Amino acid sequence: MAIFKGAGVAIVTPFKANGEVNYEKFAELIEFQIANGTDAIIVCGTTGESSTLTHEEHLDVIKYCAEKVAGRVPVVAGTGSNCTETAIYLSTEAEKYGVDGLLLVSPYYNKATQKGLYAHYKAVADSVKIPCILYNVPSRTGCNILPETVVALCNDVENIVGVKEASGNLSQVARLMHLADGKVDLYSGNDDQIVPIMSLGGIGVISVLSNIAPKETHDICAKYLEGDVTGSMKEQLRAIPVCDALFCEVNPIPVKKALNLMGKEAGPLRMPLTEMEDANAAKLEKAMKEYGIL
């Protein structure tokens, strides 16, 4: 059975002005998501600035999220790394906190071969008992997990259950699902491709948009899963301008700005990420107003 179906939020990690994790605001963001129908919370992913968290912070944020959610929706912890041993360490620790699954980004910078990707993912998944979702995002990692590799891992490793596909390549996704034979849980990794990917057999999205529009993102998925494809498509198309604005600078720069515009006090970014350019911030604010969330 899938870890979740629908819209899972790739939740931000709020910081105080001094750079510390702001757990008070994090709790408020979690409650905002649950109150507005989010289907899962994905903690310490790219949007959560995991790459600038220390290992201790990374694990503390995962533990806090699992405890605060307390089983109300599934929690998926981002525990991937470009170092296999680090990914194993983070994954085995996260499992102890009672998370429902893991999101494992493809090893970045190393640019492993498909053989290397297979070995990496198998080693990490074999170190835990909870289900694992692969995360394919070549634009950030420099490494593409080919459909054949995804399918082999889902067939060969019992607790590798699916993939978050953020390649943007719908032809690749179509080939993946052709080969999958129903054995791969597919999630969109791009908010502007939720409906296209669900039309190829996807069961939801791991979403940046959901940080600021949890109900709307949930509805795109729920309508599709209920058979209202036209209604889902209309909601997808209505969201395109705000999706574009959320990615006019590298994620999570715009989404943190958006949350701050909403008064959610997500705080600053950690370097090397910097605050949004004024012109892009104005574009984002305009799109949010037109979408009805400001």
> Could you list the active site residues?
135, 164
The answer to whether the CB of 69 falls within 8 A of the CB of 30 is yes
Distance CA 247, CA 280 (A): 10
- Inter-residue long-range contacts of 232-241, CB under 8 Å, 24+ positions, other chains counted: 232/194, 232/195, 232/198, 233/195, 236/192, 236/194, 236/195, 238/291, 239/191, 239/192, 239/209, 239/213, 239/291, 240/192, 241/287, 241/290, 241/291
- Please list, in sequence order, all residues whose beta carbon lies within 8 angstroms of the beta carbon of residue 64, skipping any fewer than 6 positions away: 23, 26
- End-to-end distance of the chain based on CA atoms, in angstroms? 37
Residue 8 bridge partners (DSSP): 40, 206
* Residue 36 phi, psi dihedral angles, 5° rounding: -105, 20
Q: Which helix (H) or strand (E) holds 28?
A: helix 23-35
Residue among 220, 277, 267, 222 at smallest CA distance from 245:
277
